[in-house]
Amino acid sequence: MKRSVQLIFGVLLALLLIEPGQAGAAPATQHFMADASAAGLSHAQVDWLQRAVDTYLSKTEGKQTSPNTIDLNGTGEVQIALPGEQHPRDFAHPGSRLPDPCAGGTALGYVCAYSDAWGAGSIVAGYYCNQNYYLNQDIFWNTFTGSWGSNQYGGAQGAFFTPDGHVADWIPEQGNNQNYSWVDHQVKSFIPCGL
């Protein structure tokens, strides 16, 4: 009886020591959440970011590489901005992150889609032809007006797609639209080139 009471007490104590939002989190996830907390984010912001990452990863393949960044298996990247912030934060340790393909314009070979107008908000960057890049409208891509930039080459053309797979709009080889309505065009994903 005494042993059972000690066991129950120990389990309850362990549950109380787990921070909200971290119960059941994988060790890597806990590490990213700790990095975000150390950078000064509130518990609510840390939880929101992790939910955004988890929601995106539940719909596509990739790997979380920082509190707000997902590597799409070497084919592109997702960077998630906190609500109310103009750009995604850089949580990478100095020298550990590759150059941002969407910072200060679109890098050669990329299409960059932004959740907000004028290159602001969350970013989905892709460069593999015939690869579908998903825009997560469930949690961090629910804005009406966003923007995009294309810096393809060699006659490449891509497209934005609706949820049912129809072309919503064509993406030119090179160009941008700083005030693009994701909602009016019903955009759910894009393929940067190869069409």
> How far apart are the C-alpha atoms of 21 and 47, rounded to whole Å?
6
Entry pTM: 0.81
> How far apart are the C-alpha atoms of 48 and 67, rounded to whole Å?
10
Provide the pLDDT confidence category of residue 13 given band limits of 50, 70 and 90.
very low
With a pLDDT cut of 70, the percent of the chain lying above it is 79
> How far apart are the C-alpha atoms of 49 and 77, rounded to whole Å?
16
**137 pLDDT higher than 60:** yes
